[in-house]
Structure 1
Amino acid sequence: MPLKNDSTPVGPHTNRRRLFVAVAIGLAILLVAALGLAHWAADRAGAQADVEARQNARAHASLLESELQKFRLLPRVLTEFPDVRAALADKSDAASRRLDRELEQLAARTDATVIYVIDADGTTIAASNWRAPTSFVGENYRFRPYFQGAMRDGEAELFALGTVSGRPGLYLARRVDVGGRQLGVIVLKVEFDKLEARWADSAAATLVIDAAGIIVMSSEPRWRFRSFVPISAATQQRLRATRSYGDARLDPLPVERVDGGVRVGAELYRQADERVSFPGGTLRLLQPAAPARASANATARVAFLVLLILVGAAIITLLRLVERQTLRQAAHDALEREVAARTRDLRTANDELRLASERQRETDRRYRAAREELAQASRLGSIGQITAGVAHEINQPIAAIRTFAENSLRYLERAEPDKARGNLDTIVALTARVGAITNELRNFARRKPTPLGPVAVQSAVDGTLLLIGDRLRAQGITLDVDIENPATSVHADRVRLEQVLVNLLQNAADAVHGEKEPRIALHAHGSDPVHIDVCDNGPGVPATLLPQLFTPFVTGRPDGLGLGLAIASDIMAEFGGALTLIPSPFGGAGFRLTLRLA
């Protein structure tokens, strides 16, 4: 009997079975890969949208806080305004009309919607809109919660619809006290139309929700005065009774929690919340999930296409090995079709890259437009940090004024007019100092910079120390100020130059915190160019930050935004100068401002 040959060629049926098995394995791989990529795309899209939502929420909350910090200072200052106290004290028409004009000018300069003064009975005696048909003068607001809260607690805030204008806004109220008497309330109304319009430029929806759960600010106007979550009919009735929301029905939005996000109507969003110093308020940003999902799906499709090509190539290779002769032409045709498909994909990818480039150019344009807004926001943020110091600076002369005034009364009772006159001269000097402090703070908060021109170095340094000097003294920091030529003037804008100096001194103060003998030096020297050096004995700048020290959003502090040095560098470039890092003679960090001589 003949032996079987182990090298007998495999028959065509076996080849077909092997080819079928290979194709089945390839399809299984593609199916598993498709499911895995779909799950990966969903996770990546959610994570990317969450990151964008958190970043945008912080940015929008920062803009809102800047607006609130700017306006909250006004009622505090106005309670000490002599004309306000005079109008409330004697309630004469002449005093009230003079105060009308002053409030009108102040509202125009500060972008406040309206500023008005209410006496202790709730009647408005003066208002910035006294010329308008909807003037508040003569109106009684005793029923308004902000009036009642201010008279009871000293100050109050309320977001509500205006009873005359019908427009929503934030009411900031502060009681005016003189000698223990409650004369009345100064009220400032702020409307946020411009801020909401700026929010609306973003693809995300931005909301501010009050303590009752009602949307009081929104980049989507149709969502205003609706609740984000359902509230009971009894609660709705109680809220309507306050008239804070006018005739709004306070209906809930059609919100549904799905897939780690929220669905409002037909649109799916990712949510991020930020607490804001609003009366019981929360800023909620809803980032559309569709763009991030589309981007992740596109990446997944590209990866699947690559895997499809690899599996297809393996099947084609096996097919050519099994049926080399019969399928040569078929493999060639398949390759041509694949190349054509790749060409179309590359053409599509090229179009997408071109569109992405155009979007990048638009983004750069918006960045340049927003850079000045960031500089203003940084300046207002600095005001928030130095307000406590300025308040302390003002409280000291005010306390002294009261003491000298009380002593003057006793001198007059004793018939010692010369001593009383000396005390009155001292009071005049102290009030001049208070005026200088408040004037410096108001100039520092100006929104639009003035044109460049001569700025005295001594004047800019004095203004900076007026704003931040008390904080340095409170921290026990030794500040060495050395100006070689006090008459030197440089080509700059005083407000922005003070902003740079405030930023550098605050950074230095933060750096020397915890040092046994904290020390900062400010040295102005040179003729042309002029150099201003700010040096400290802190730990210095980490080596890892040196290459990107003046790049936006690069910071060595866990609570920092990384905008201060970047904005300061841009301001110095606009002056035709530069901001550079130099060695500190004390072993810490040193920064040099190089400026042209005026």
Structure 2
Amino acid sequence: MNDNPARFAFVPADLRPRIVIAAILYLASLILLAWAGDVWADQQARNEARRAAQIAAASRASLLVSELQKYRLLPVVLAEQPEIVAALGGDAGARDRASRKLEDIAGELGSSVVYLLDARGRTIAASNWRLPSSFVGQDYSFRPYFTRAMRAGSAEFFGLGTVSREPGLFLSRRVAGGQGVIVVKFVFGAVERGWGPAPGTVIVTGADGVVLLTNRPGWRFGTTHALPTAQIAEMRRTRQYGGAPLAPLPISAAGDALVDIGAQQSAAADTPVPVPGWRLTVFEPLAPVRAAYLATARLILIGAAVLLLLPLGWWLRASSRAALAASLRRVLEDEVAARTAELEAAQTRFRDAREALAHANRLGSIGQITAAVAHEINQPVATIRTLAENGTAFLARGDAATAGQNLEAIAGLTQRIGTITAELRSYARRGTGTLRPVPIDQAIDGTLLLVGHLIRSAGVMLERVSVPAVAVLADPIRFEQILVNLLHNALEALAGQPRPRIGLLVDVEADTVRILIADTGSGIAEAARGDLFAPFATTKEAGLGLGLGIARDIAREFGGELDVGDAPPGWTTAFLLTLRRA
């Protein structure tokens, strides 16, 4: 710094090293804070992305499971239908009637295809029998879903359709003691479209590591690892994935539950799906979350820089004033001594002394000006400090006007989602089939956590009689399924009714517990009561007619019963669920 003395002309020489050291410490502190902020932002982003991936995985899996459950019982029910069994007898008319039956069922299901194979694996009836792409006459004896069903009674096989070229899950069941196989093909278009708008990538992989379902079309039939040549050859033989290249996807582990997808780092979370060998995985990109936390860290750094300047500025001001005063004193003393010693000097010395005094005066003025400037900037600095502290909270969502107001609300909503997710995960899990004591109040509370918002949004009054502290023998997940089904039916019956009400009444006896679900809807026609629990019997225009039958079967598995009950006074419809007391 000696090459430019004018730069520090107003600062005494003995103060300059301390200013340099203070500046170095200040910059070092900012660098350390910036590094710590980056580390904090990265860790927070990882944690947030992992939490988001776990929540998204549970949500996406529940959507997939709910769709699967609708179709899994269909082959079991169809295998007992008289039209299906009759079609295997060889009569052409019976086969046409079976095709019409399957056509009606497929129409209710949407885009799925249902067809019947004889004992040789040839299609004899199909829901698409009228279309040019009809399966009737096609030979599927080579397909695993046929061979496994004939051998084991039932099978599930994911693959590409040999005629439609559309991927789907084939659910098959042996019919009439081995005379044929009924097949339901479930396509996942609606499920994948439901995943599409969400951020991140969703994949479902089979046991062999092949991507079966995804919201990223270019990844379908890619693999999470390289497959052996023999395995690929077997897939080609069964035409499971058609001519797909089955090439590994650009996914590599990055540690700490992170993966690299190409050049993008993401948090990954997976969960099993109730199909043997299947897993659902969600990849949440880390970059957007990290950018938000980095912005917060940068604003904190700005606030810290301003706060550190305050004591540094005060110290510089005090040190400069003291040093300048001492320097001025020395100059004045030197000039007085020079004038005393050289009283009789020439005019030149007088002019030199006068100029020295003028210089000292300028130094004193500069000190005052510096103090005034320092005083003037105190107010703006204080304002900057306040804005920086507030901005730290406001910048979390990039909206300086409302972000601070939203933080508390976001914290409360997070706690509420956590509670519902926990209940949805529990509800989405497949029941164990093991009966154990289940408290009545616990089951009803869990059910209302799932459907309570539907009841409230429909304006329905729920009248719940105080539930005794009693337990029943049941599987808790399937017990809640019965209650959810009955409450949904009650809500549909109350549509358009004035002052709609639902009642939950519990009656405890020595060995049984009776739960009555009543409503004030339009009631059930007498003609419909006899077939109310039969498969495909429904009073709803868009209903499939399986819900009440499934609920009754579950109740009977528990050793109980579900039936239409006598509605108490003031109610129009009631269903009575009777279970064994624990």
- TM-score, normalised with respect to structure 2: 0.62
Match of 1:543 in 2: none
Structure-2 change in CA distance of 1:388 and 1:182 (3 Å): farther
Match of 1:596 in 2: none
More displaced stretch, 233-242 vs 142-151: 233-242
In the alignment, is the contact (CA less than 8 A) between 1:204 and 1:288 conserved in 2? yes
Q: What SS class does the counterpart of residue 203 from structure 1 fall into?
A: coil
In the alignment, is the contact (CA less than 8 A) between 1:169 and 1:192 conserved in 2? yes
- Which of 490, 507, 511 aligns to 2:520? It is 490
Match of 2:178 in 1: 182
Match of 1:241 in 2: 237
Q: Distance in 2 between matches of 1:242 and 1:334?
A: 80
Post-superposition CA distance 1:161-182 (Å, at most 9, x none): 10000001100011113xxx31
- Which of 223, 227, 245 aligns to 1:227? It is 223
Match of 1:167 in 2: 166
Match of 1:37 in 2: 37
How far is 1:110 from its partner? 2.4
Structure-2 change in CA distance of 1:321 and 1:380 (3 Å): closer
Structure-2 change in CA distance of 1:131 and 1:329 (3 Å): farther
1:139 correspondence with 2:145: no
Q: What SS class does the counterpart of residue 491 from structure 1 fall into?
A: coil
Match of 1:478 in 2: 512
Q: What SS class does the counterpart of residue 353 from structure 1 fall into?
A: coil
Q: Distance in 2 between matches of 1:131 and 1:75?
A: 22
Give the alignment of 1:288-303 within 5 angstroms: 288-303=285-300
How far is 1:146 from its partner? 0.6
1:328 correspondence with 2:328: no
In the alignment, is the contact (CA less than 8 A) between 1:70 and 1:380 conserved in 2? no
Structure-2 change in CA distance of 1:223 and 1:383 (3 Å): closer
How far is 1:452 from its partner? 1.6
How far is 1:49 from its partner? 0.5
In the alignment, is the contact (CA less than 8 A) between 2:513 and 2:578 conserved in 1? no
How far is 1:242 from its partner? 2.6
Match of 1:13 in 2: 13
1:254 correspondence with 2:270: no
Match of 1:55 in 2: 55
Q: What SS class does the counterpart of residue 125 from structure 1 fall into?
A: strand
**For this pair of structures, how many residues does the alignment match?**
432
Q: Distance in 2 between matches of 1:355 and 1:538?
A: 58
Q: Percent identity?
A: 33
In the alignment, is the contact (CA less than 8 A) between 1:158 and 1:279 conserved in 2? no
Post-superposition CA distance 1:463-484 (Å, at most 9, x none): x99xxx9xx99xx96214679x
Q: Distance in 2 between matches of 1:382 and 1:41?
A: 34
The one-letter code of the counterpart of 2:179 is L
Match of 1:284 in 2: 281
Post-superposition CA distance 1:458-508 (Å, at most 9, x none): x999xx99xxx9xx99xx96214679xxxx960379999x999x99xx9xx
- TM-score, normalised with respect to structure 1: 0.61
Q: What SS class does the counterpart of residue 209 from structure 2 fall into?
A: coil
Give the alignment of 1:61-460 within 5 angstroms: 61-88=61-88, 90-111=89-110, 113-177=112-176, 181-260=177-256, 261-324=258-321, 325=367, 327-328=370-371, 331=374, 349=394, 352-353=398-399, 449=492, 452=495
How far is 1:128 from its partner? 0.8
Structure-2 change in CA distance of 1:245 and 1:535 (3 Å): closer
Q: Distance in 2 between matches of 1:137 and 1:278?
A: 28
Q: Which runs of 4+ in 1 moved over 6 A?
A: 339-348, 354-357, 377-380, 386-389, 440-446, 492-496, 528-539
In the alignment, is the contact (CA less than 8 A) between 2:115 and 2:135 conserved in 1? yes
Q: Distance in 2 between matches of 1:537 and 1:86?
A: 40
Q: Distance in 1 between matches of 2:206 and 2:579?
A: 44
The one-letter code of the counterpart of 2:304 is L
In the alignment, is the contact (CA less than 8 A) between 1:380 and 1:445 conserved in 2? no
Structure-2 change in CA distance of 1:287 and 1:355 (3 Å): farther
Q: Which of the two has higher C-alpha Rg?
A: 2
In the alignment, is the contact (CA less than 8 A) between 2:259 and 2:267 conserved in 1? yes
Structure-2 change in CA distance of 1:355 and 1:523 (3 Å): farther
Q: Distance in 1 between matches of 2:97 and 2:33?
A: 78
Unaligned 5+ segments in structure 1 are: 1-10, 390-439, 511-521, 540-598
In the alignment, is the contact (CA less than 8 A) between 2:259 and 2:266 conserved in 1? yes
How far is 1:68 from its partner? 1.2
Q: Distance in 2 between matches of 1:124 and 1:202?
A: 39
The one-letter code of the counterpart of 1:152 is R
Q: Distance in 2 between matches of 1:204 and 1:264?
A: 11
In the alignment, is the contact (CA less than 8 A) between 2:79 and 2:173 conserved in 1? yes
Q: Distance in 1 between matches of 2:207 and 2:247?
A: 16
In the alignment, is the contact (CA less than 8 A) between 2:83 and 2:94 conserved in 1? yes
Structure-2 change in CA distance of 1:529 and 1:312 (3 Å): farther
Match of 1:515 in 2: none
The two structures, once aligned, show a CA RMSD in angstroms of: 5.1
Q: Distance in 1 between matches of 2:83 and 2:400?
A: 62
In the alignment, is the contact (CA less than 8 A) between 1:452 and 1:493 conserved in 2? no
Give the alignment of 1:517-556 within 5 angstroms: 527=570
Q: Distance in 2 between matches of 1:131 and 1:537?
A: 50
Q: Distance in 1 between matches of 2:426 and 2:127?
A: 24
In the alignment, is the contact (CA less than 8 A) between 2:148 and 2:154 conserved in 1? yes
Structure-2 change in CA distance of 1:460 and 1:79 (3 Å): farther
In the alignment, is the contact (CA less than 8 A) between 2:145 and 2:156 conserved in 1? yes
Unaligned 5+ segments in structure 2 are: 1-10, 322-366, 436-482, 525-539, 559-564
Q: Distance in 2 between matches of 1:355 and 1:330?
A: 33
How far is 1:109 from its partner? 1.4
Q: Distance in 2 between matches of 1:355 and 1:96?
A: 69
Q: What SS class does the counterpart of residue 195 from structure 1 fall into?
A: helix
Q: Distance in 1 between matches of 2:391 and 2:236?
A: 59
